[in-house]
Chains A and B, each alone.
Chain A
């Protein structure tokens, strides 16, 4: 009993068990892999058991999409070049494009209060603790635990997670905290007179140095100004598909290059 209590204290207050945890987590990965088999099978049958006409149709659609995206990426290249030139004129450091790694979800936390994902990439792939995680629509969260072959990510809606953000429209800075409810963030300590409205896009501000600047985080969904309270009560809806993404992107920021 005493051993258990000291174990809990050690983990809660001193973070002393990181390496033990990493080793054990690597051993536990197969369990997640097996638990994930049914959905993997479902996905496999969805992609392999398809009629020819469906495949042809999809192929044609993807071709069209590819063409459009290619066109856009050419445009993007010229815009980027222009951006770098303008930045050079402004004498600020050039924005480096971040390197990304695609990871696949192999499990979600069984406890509904703990918004965590298990990913199939680990230390071997260069994943590190604190690494930001995004999907096509916005920021998902960050890595909190890495073992050699898998890693565990905490979503931005977890009750213990906070992220520095700024309003895209006017640059007002704030902290968005998770609420433990999927699909709701709460923006804390914003003065009642601050210019922030429903529909405002919150992006990462890059303060704190953990998340790169400019990834969309959430859209303000509710602003409540009570004259009796010093701060406004602001709720926001995450932009990323927190409960639907199966493939996610791990971002390697400028400071943390990917050693190959």
Chain B
């Protein structure tokens, strides 16, 4: 069917680009430990909304981009985002019927896993954090999830991304 043909590539790409910019935006000192994982949030949204289009391969490519941007070990964020995307692929039917705050709880878990994987790789490299502060971004991401969800949903409906 002509109407089912996927379109809106540019909308999706634009949201990821904005997430990249937010991911390296300079932040004040007290906020820097709790920088939300914007890219993971946007990836989670698109994987839940369009699991047939956005998934592990998208996660892999996006993660490689973030690695270059952050100067991290090549593959660190790619690994983490592939894990997150695959979990979303498994869970999307459940996540869709969750209430907003249940979803936020799941986002906390998903971004927490993302952070944990990053932490593993960073420890291999020798620059890991010594305390549980690496989970702070998971918390801030969960708090921001309703905002991100609302914004991206409106965007998706407005541009009819299917």
Contact = CB atoms under 8 A, between A and B. Distances in A.
Given A28-B69, A113-B122, A107 B74 contact: no
B74 A160 contact: no
A32 B75 CA distance: 20
A89 interface: no
Interface stretch (A5-13, A74-82, A192-200, A216-224): A5-13
A4 B82 contact: yes
B51 to A, nearest CB: 19
Nearest to B38: A110
Contact of B26 (A107, A159, A160): A107
Given A8-B79, A110-B35, A21 B73 contact: no
A4 B80 CA distance: 10
B128 to A, nearest CB: 7
A39 B27 CA distance: 11
B100 interface: no
Given A35-B24, A36-B26, A159-B127, A11 B70 contact: no
B74 A11 contact: yes
A11 B129 CA distance: 20
Interface residues of A, number: 40
B78 to A, nearest CB: 5
Contacts of B75: 4-5, 7-8, 11
B127 A4 contact: no
B105 interface: no
A4 B60 contact: yes
Contacts, number: 91
A201 to B, nearest CB: 27
Given A39-B26, A113-B129, A8 B76 contact: yes
Nearest to A107: B24
A11 B33 CA distance: 26
B70 A110 contact: yes
A28 B65 contact: yes
A31 B24 contact: yes
B78 A4 contact: yes
A31 B128 contact: no
Given A5-B79, A39-B26, A111 B125 contact: no
B54 interface: no
A116 interface: yes
B68 interface: yes
Contacts of B79: 4-5, 8
A114 B126 contact: no
Contacts of B42: none
A116 B71 contact: yes
A145 B21 contact: no
B100 to A, nearest CB: 27
A149 interface: no
A112 B24 CA distance: 11
Contacts of B26: 35-36, 39, 107-108
Interface string A24-41: 110110011011101100
A99 to B, nearest CB: 27
11 contacts: A4-B82, A5-B75, A11-B73, A28-B68, A34-B21, A38-B25, A110-B70, A112-B32, A114-B70, A159-B126, A243-B29
Given A5-B75, A159-B127, 10 more contacts: A10-B74, A11-B73, A31-B17, A35-B25, A35-B26, A110-B70, A114-B72, A152-B71, A158-B127, A160-B125
Interface of A: 1, 3-5, 7-8, 10-12, 17, 20-21, 24-25, 27-28, 31-32, 34-36, 38-39, 107-114, 116, 144-145, 152, 158-160, 180, 243
Query: What 3 pairs across the A-B complex have the smallest Cβ distances?
Result: A7-B75, A8-B75, A11-B74
